[in-house]
Structure 1
Amino acid sequence: MNQDNQFQYSKSEHLEQVTVLNAAISDFSYGRHAHEEYSFGVTLSGRQDFFSRGQFHRSHPGNIIVFNPDEVHDGHSGVDDKLQYRMLYVHPDQLAPVFQAAGIKSQGFRVADTLLDDPQLCQYILHLVQLIESRSEDKLRQECELYQMATRIAQLYGECQADQKARRVDSLLLRARDFIHHNLQTDVSLEELSQQANLSKYHFLRMFRQQFGITPHQYILNCRINRAREDLEKGKALDDVVFDYGFSDLSHFNRRFKPIFGMTPKQYQKHFLNA
């Protein structure tokens, strides 16, 4: 890995399923992928160019990038200067009750904008990032910063809740998505998935790609990588992870993993276990 590209991951010791990425990249490009978490990023220097929700975006210093769960995106530095940014990943299970307490009632809330400029929200994100990176022992402060962040999002986007039904994913596609999540360690066919959605195979394929931005095969692979990442963080043997999630060998796993997390699975596991 080019030494000009640096990736530092930190997990909160007090908030479950909350992780921070401190990244500095020059010539690294993320492949298109999606996370199960909400992703809140702040560009610190350089320019962050990326694709999401069918459009190309450019994030300048101070801008906030938001990826809702399962939203496909990529990313790279858009200028000659090094791109530096922080990304905060928060699992929906962690954020849903905080959103609810902040005034957003519905489950599955989605932030309407991908790129925004809001100094107050930016401050809350960076405060929480700093607390996690410094391994602050102040659990209450981390919880309060997460709540303030969610409250600001509610202030900005809570009024959009009335429009959520119009943008809601078809329930049958969600059923197929849930079937994928529950069967990640088995080989599922397009026929099985289309049956979950009560659609013909190729109608399902078209609708799924239209909704999620990638094919069902790409989605399954992405989910397997995300689940494999969790097992690596827990210290599971690398060979077992490769086998459990259907990768042909470690080289195959490396090729799929590195374009998403900036390092090989072995480097990633060592990074967390030695933290």
Structure 2
Amino acid sequence: MSNASRFEFFKSHHVPTLTVLKAAIEDFSYAPHAHEEYAFGVTLAGRQDFFSGGQFHRSPPGNVILFNPEEVHDGHSGGERALDYLMVYAHPEQVKPLFADALGHTRGADFRSHQTLIQDAPLRQAIVELARLVTSQVGSCIDQENALYRVVERTAQLGGHVQPSQVTHRPDALLGLAREYIHAHLEADMSLDDISQAAHLSKYHFLRLFRQHFGMTPHQYVMNGRVNAARAALDQDAPLTEVALRFGFADLCHFNRRFKRIYGMTPHQYQRDIAR
């Protein structure tokens, strides 16, 4: 990665789990990954190219990018100009009550956008304003909460769908068991046999279903989960070496490499950013 590529994370001092990334990219490419949070982004300059939801997307300046939780995507700069963009991450537990309120019913808490690329000036302006409040460390708690609600409200107005409250298809239910097992054992040395048995599926049938459903292999999903869990631990100022070993990375070098492919910086750089 050249020195022209820059990544900065900013953590809200007021709203738990709210984080902003400002990035300028020339020759860096994100590995396929997924976040636990909703991700609301705006392409500011250049072109943002990425694969998500079975489609290749190109986002020119002014476009909004919206990733639902657990939605697999990659990303890199497209075209000749350097890519400049920002992304706001908000954990589902933080925004579920906001979606429910915006949609007027409790099932709204399970909202998922059906659009990945959105051309909408009010939503773009709301995201940029929220990012400004967090990155500049200005405004009170109520200012940032109100700005986040404006983002959620506009997203809900633009449409999506609400997940059913109960899983009706058996494969989905079984894969849900696998997902729960993985997240409960991120600090353990789990095997493919362990995960497929938790899902009550044969190993090879499980492999095929898992990749179709989640967009990545179980191994990729486990590594992605470990990096995301490690990031949460870094937010709590846990020591780097302790975090690396706790989540199954061979050493700090291995942890650095995996973390950087998803977040564009080393764990040390990330922890330095959010400590500001």
TM-score (normalizing by structure 2): 0.93
Identical aligned pairs, as a percentage?
52
Q: What stretches of structure 1 move > 4 A for 4+ residues in a row?
A: 162-169
SS class of match (1:170): helix
Other-structure match for 2:248: 246
Other-structure match for 2:47: 47
Q: Distance in 1 between matches of 2:145 and 2:168?
A: 30
Shift of 1:21: 0.4
> Residue type matched to 2:7 in 1?
F
SS class of match (1:151): helix
> Residue type matched to 1:12 in 2?
S
Correspondence list, 1:116-135, <5 A: 116-135=118-137
Shift of 1:235: 1.8
TM-score (normalizing by structure 1): 0.93
Q: Distance in 1 between matches of 2:139 and 2:80?
A: 38
> Residue type matched to 1:105 in 2?
T
Other-structure match for 1:189: 191
Picking from 208, 211, 233, the partner of 1:209 is 211
Other-structure match for 2:23: 23
Shift of 1:163: 8.4
> Residue type matched to 2:84 in 1?
Q
Shift of 1:191: 2.2
- Residues 18-66 of structure 1 show CA distances to partners (whole Å, capped at 9, x for unaligned) of 1000111111111111111011110011000001011110001111111
Indicate yes or no: 2:272 matched with 1:270: yes
> Residue type matched to 2:111 in 1?
F
Q: Distance in 1 between matches of 2:167 and 2:227?
A: 31
Contact 2:126/2:150 (8 A) holds in 1: yes
Contact 2:38/2:69 (8 A) holds in 1: yes
Contact 2:112/2:162 (8 A) holds in 1: no
| Alignment RMSD | 2.0
> Residue type matched to 2:121 in 1?
P
Q: Tell me: CA distance 1:267–1:162, structure 2 relative to 1, closer, same or farther (3 Å).
A: closer
Other-structure match for 2:231: 229
5+ long unaligned stretches in structure 2: none
Count of residues in correspondence between the two structures: 273
